[in-house]
Each structure stands twice: as structure tokens, then as C-alpha cells.
Amino acid sequence: MTAPTASGRLLSVLAAFDHEHPALSLTDISRRAGLSLTTTHRLVGALTDWGALERDDSGVYHVGLRLWELAALAPRGLALRQIALPYLEDLYEATHENVQLAVRDGRDVVYTEWLSGRSAVGVHIRVGARWPLHATGVGLVLLAHGGAELQDEYCAGDLASFTPYTITDPVRLRRVLAEVRRSDVAVSDRQVTEDALSVAAPVRGADGTVTAAVSVVVPYADAQVPVLVPAVRLAARGISRALGWQP
């Protein structure tokens, strides 16, 4: 097995942190990164000096603000969020439900913004969270507009199940994706939790390519899809125009 490079070891230290592990001791980092304590101590010291990590009074490490500053430069991250936020807020005011903005990263959807609504649906979403593309409304939109090669590769892989309603049949998934492309909207029905339904629409960049997706998540029992669809489409088109898209 090839020994990890110096850059690989640094990245493994950063990768030790996630939503379930936002604060770690040096020993925790060593264990999760698969590195010796001596190596971890040296790398953590360098990352802390640079500002990628911060150490609190109890000796526990957290992700540092320097990484947040870099993330602000990502065109699909905070930069997109700043452009989209007024339209997301309008969608929230129109529905008072959970509103989300997301982009694709490989086989996952990554949420870059989330406005929490009044509904007590089991939304397992927060900024930076990941979910498989096939299980969410925003993911279905991004997969449907991701091209034939992506869809072939995705459908050939494992389709994880989260509820009895999660799409796990690749033939059915292809039919759903075709309908999303036709209607320019996706409805994800109880795929992640059995009490929630989401309606999503594509966000296009200046060249017309779908770069993100916006959605609203509501309780399944009270979902009024015909009312939600135009509201979500309006928000998505507003963001798209702000990004330079011309219908």
C-alpha cells in the first residue's frame, strides 16, 4: 500500500471533522485520521497556526475561520448563497415552510442554504449536509439535468433506502428523471422521512446549465403540490436570472 503523502495526511486531519464530529481532541483526530499521535500533533499544530483549526480552552479542536473565509470564494457555495438568499426568503414568506438550496458533488447533493419553516417535519438537513441524489427533490433535479453519463453511472450503483418510499429501482428512477426533465420540477414523496414531501426546481447559470436546485419541504399530510410548484419555480427562475440566465 502506498504511504500517504504529506498533503494527504493534512487532508485526512481536516476530514476527521464532520457534522457528527465538529469538536475533536487530539487523540480523536489521530484515531479518525488513521495517523500516529506524533504526526497528528505536528499537523494539527501547523493547521492551527494557519487558522484552519482552532483550539478552545479545554484543548478541543474545531474548524477555524480561515476555512470559512476560503469557502466564501467558492462560486457554488457562499457566493451562490448570497445571490440566491433574497429569492429563498421570498419563497419562505410565501410558504412559511422549510426552504433549501443545494448543489451536486459527485453522487451526493450538498445543501448550501436552509431556512427553517414552521412545520415539524423530520427534516434531516443543515448547511453542508449531504444526501444521495435519488432520495431528495433537489437531488432528483440535479441528477435529471446531469447528463446521460452521470445517470447511467448512478443507476448502476447502489440506491440506498431510507423509507419504504425511497426509489431503489433503477428503472423507476429513470422514469422519474425523465419526468423531471419534461416538467422542470421534482416531487420527492416521503423518500427520506415518512412525514415529509419536497418540491424542487432547477437553478440555471448564465449558459443555461443547471448548477443548483431550490426546494420547499412540507408535511406530507398537508402537502398542496399544485400550489407549491409555481412558487418554487418562481424562486428558481429568479435566482437563475440573477445568475445571468436569459429564458
pLDDT in tens, 13-27: 999 998 788 899 999
**Position 52 pLDDT exceeds 60:** yes
Question: How many angstroms separate the CA atoms of 10 and 89, rounded?
Answer: 38
Q: Give the residue-averaged pLDDT of 83-100.
A: 92
| pLDDT tier at 6, thresholds 50, 70, 90 | confident
246: its cell numbers? 436569459
Question: How many angstroms separate the CA atoms of 28 and 217, rounded?
Answer: 36
**Position 92 pLDDT exceeds 50:** yes
**Position 2 pLDDT exceeds 60:** no
Where do the DSSP E strands lie in the chain?
Answer: 23-24, 53-55, 61-63, 98-105, 108-115, 130-132, 186-189, 196-204, 210-219
22: left (phi over 0), alpha (psi -120 to 50) or beta: alpha
| pLDDT tier at 115, thresholds 50, 70, 90 | confident
| pLDDT tier at 73, thresholds 50, 70, 90 | low
122: left (phi over 0), alpha (psi -120 to 50) or beta: beta
pTM for this entry = 0.73
Contacts of 170 (CB under 8 A, 6+ apart): 155, 156, 159
User: For the chain, what percent of residues have pLDDT higher than 70?
Assistant: 91
Average pLDDT in the chain: 89
Q: What is the DSSP letter of 4?
A: P
pLDDT tens, position by position, 200-233: 999 999 999 999 999 999 988 888 899 999 999 9
Residue 35 phi, psi (nearest 5): -120, 160
Question: How many angstroms separate the CA atoms of 46 and 31, rounded?
Answer: 18
**Position 1 pLDDT exceeds 50:** no
43: its cell numbers? 499537523
Question: Tell me, what's the pLDDT at 20?
Answer: 81
Partners of 218 in the beta sheet? 197
Question: Tell me, what's the pLDDT at 76?
Answer: 60
Question: Tell me, what's the pLDDT at 128?
Answer: 73
SS3 of the chain: helix, strand, coil, percent, to 5: 45, 20, 35
Question: How many angstroms separate the CA atoms of 80 and 197, rounded?
Answer: 25
Question: Tell me, what's the pLDDT at 117?
Answer: 76
Q: Give the residue-averaged pLDDT of 178-193.
A: 94
Question: How many angstroms separate the CA atoms of 148 and 162, rounded?
Answer: 25
Question: Tell me, what's the pLDDT at 84?
Answer: 92
Residue 53 phi, psi (nearest 5): -125, 155
Q: Quickly count: other Cβ atoms within 10 Å of residue 169's Cβ.
A: 11
Q: pLDDT: is 220 or 185 the higher one?
A: 185
Question: Tell me, what's the pLDDT at 122?
Answer: 56
Question: What is the residue type of 22?
Answer: P
**Position 78 pLDDT exceeds 70:** no
Question: Tell me, what's the pLDDT at 220?
Answer: 85
Cα dihedral 127, 131, 137, 143, rounded to 10, equals 120
**Position 88 pLDDT exceeds 80:** yes
Question: What is the residue type of 27?
Answer: T
